[in-house]
Every structure is written in structure tokens, then in C-alpha cells.
Amino acid sequence: MHLRILGCSGGIGGANRTTSFLLNDSILIDAGTGVGDLSFTALTRIEHIFLTHAHLDHIACLPMLADTILGSRSAPLTVYASEATLGVLKKHIFNWAVWPDFNQIPSREAPFLRYVTLDTGQSCRIEECTITAIPAVHTVPAVGYLLDSGKNSLIFSGDSVCSPAFWDIVNATENLSHLIIETAFSNREYELANAAKHFCPFTLLEQLKHLSRPCQVLVTHLKPADSELTMQEILRDNMSLSISRLEQNQLIHF
């Protein structure tokens, strides 16, 4: 299995793209602005989209992706998310006011877009990969994902300040090779980070004390204004872990 990082920034501007990861060729984990760099042919290969939550930086390209490829596909595009997140998409995005409801066209019986509820603790298996929704703590209902290739596992925290339940899963994942975890703000934005339920370096490193398994820790979702400073603060205060910055276009084999 390979995961290609289409976007991992907490904002836009220049080369920055927001969260989206491509698993093999047909599975997207979140649909931020990184999706827009794929070729039309690559876009038509996408069949499954797993969403962590409904915040715009994680779904920005979903409506236009659906509109762009659905005429070129015979099978529907499937969106997997928690019941709460799917409810937001139906009410606020695919509602005929902001964008067409592709779950009703060309017909309700054979729609272009279909929804599958995947709440915390539920798994589904696609192309040898088991994808499990895991607990996240954010300002809106959110999940992270555990991707198990059978050989190794990669965990993505989503936007989350983590919880004991999250660390229980991380530490019980015996074949864990990579942990992608967010840090949006630098330490000087400590209060804002707490209010927005994002990490800053101080709170990230506090939470990483719960990690009891060796793995590569990859930091994502850095806000462009302070991305260098935030990474410096993490690396300066990191005592023992293998931590690096997740890079756009990075290819992770697991």
C-alpha cells in the first residue's frame, strides 16, 4: 500500500494545499484542496472517499470532484463518514442551494454519489486495506483513521487533540509504522489552539508521552503563517521520538 500526500497544510497560498491523502489510486482520505492537483485521469480513478469531519479544509474539493468525474464513471462515488458528518454534507453542501444533490441524480435508485456511515469503531475493507474510524476530539464531530495494509498500519489522527481512547488504539496496534498527527499552531497561539481543539507543540508533546510504541511520527496541518516556527518548537522540545514534518507529495509505503 502507498499513501500519497496531496495536501497537508493548515491553509492555502503558494504551494500550500489542505488535507487530502491518496491511498493507492482509488481511495481518498479527506478531500481538501490537494485533490485539485490530480490529473483528470487520476481523478476518475477515485472510487472511495473517507472523511474525518466536515470542516471546509477537509471537504473543499469534494463537490467539484463529484461534478468533474461523475459523468465519466459507471459506478457511484462512495463517501464514508460518521452519521454526523454525512448529515452536515447533506444539509449544508449537497442541498441544491450550494451544490446539486448527487445522491438524487440521475435518479435516487442509481445515484452518482452514495453515502456509507462509518462511525467510531467501525471498519471496512477495500483493496486489502482495512480502514477503521477511530476516536477524535475536535470542535465538531470528527474521527481519525487506522489504515491496516496487513503488513503495517498507519494511523491518522485527523483534526484532534486526542484522548485516552485514541492512545489505547495506537498502543494496541502491533504493526504500527506511521502516526500522522496534527499541529496547527505555534506555542504563542496556545489559547487559540486550545479553543479550536488543535495542537500546538506544547500540547502535542504532552500527548505524545502516551505513545508507547516505536513508529515514525509525521506532523501535519501546520498553519502557513507559523509553519517553520511550529516545527522548530516541536523538534527543539522533542526528547526521544522520531518526528518529522509531513511533506506534500510525500509517498509513504506501509
Say how far apart CA 78 and CA 13 lie, in whole Å: 30
Q: Does 233 bind Zn ion (CB under 5 A)?
A: no
* One-letter identity of residue 12: I
Supply the minimum distance, in Å, between the C-beta of residue 240 and Zn ion: 28
User: Between residues 73 and 245, which has the closer beta carbon with respect to Zn ion?
Assistant: 245
- Give me the least distance between CB of 246 and Zn ion, in Å please: 13
Position 232: which residue type?
Q
| DSSP secondary structure string for all residues of 14-41 | TTB-BSEEEETTTEEE---GGGGGS-HH
Q: How far is the CB of 57 from Zn ion (least distance, A)?
A: 4
* Binding residue count for Zn ion, defined by CB under 5 A: 3
Alpha carbon distances (Å) from 148 to 116, 122, 254: 19, 13, 8
Query: C-beta of 31: minimal distance to Zn ion in Å?
Result: 12
Nearer to Zn ion, 79 or 222 (CB): 222
Q: How far is the CB of 213 from Zn ion (least distance, A)?
A: 25
Q: Per the structure block, which three cell numbers stand in for 218?
A: 509525521
User: Within positions 94 to 153, which residues make up the interface with Zn ion, using CB under 5 A?
Assistant: none
Shortest CB 16 distance to Zn ion, Å:
13
C-alpha Rg value of the chain to the nearest Å:
18
C-alpha separations of 24 from 42, 44, 48, 79, 112 in Å: 11, 13, 11, 17, 22
Q: Rule CB under 5 A: which of 163-222 touch Zn ion?
A: none
Query: Which of 4, 86, 134, 159 forms a contact with Zn ion (CB under 5 A)?
Result: 159
Nearer to Zn ion, 6 or 69 (CB): 6
Given the rule CB under 5 A, which of 77-85, 120-128, 145-153, 158-166 is the region that contacts Zn ion?
A: 158-166
Supply the minimum distance, in Å, between the C-beta of residue 244 and Zn ion.
20
What does residue 68 show for φ and ψ, rounded to 5 degrees?
-70, -40
DSSP 65-122: HHHHHGGG-SSPEEEEE-HHHHHHIIIIISSSSSS--TTTSS-SSS-SEEEEE--TT-
Strand ranges of the sheet holding 216-220, from the earlier edge strand across to the other edge: 123-126, 129-135, 143-148, 153-156, 176-182, 216-220, 243-245
Q: Which of residues 40-59 bind Zn ion (CB under 5 A)?
A: 55, 57
Query: Given the complex with Zn ion, which of 148 and 159 has the nearer CB atom?
Result: 159
Q: What is the DSSP letter of 187?
A: G
Which residues within the stretch 54-93 sit at the binding site for Zn ion (CB under 5 A)? Answer: 55, 57
Nearer to Zn ion, 48 or 53 (CB): 53
For Zn ion, the closer of residues 173 and 220 by Cβ is 220
- The smaller minimum CB distance to Zn ion, of residues 57 and 233, is found at 57
- d(Cα 23, Cα 26) in Å, to the nearest integer? 7
Residues that bind Zn ion (CB under 5 A): 55, 57, 159
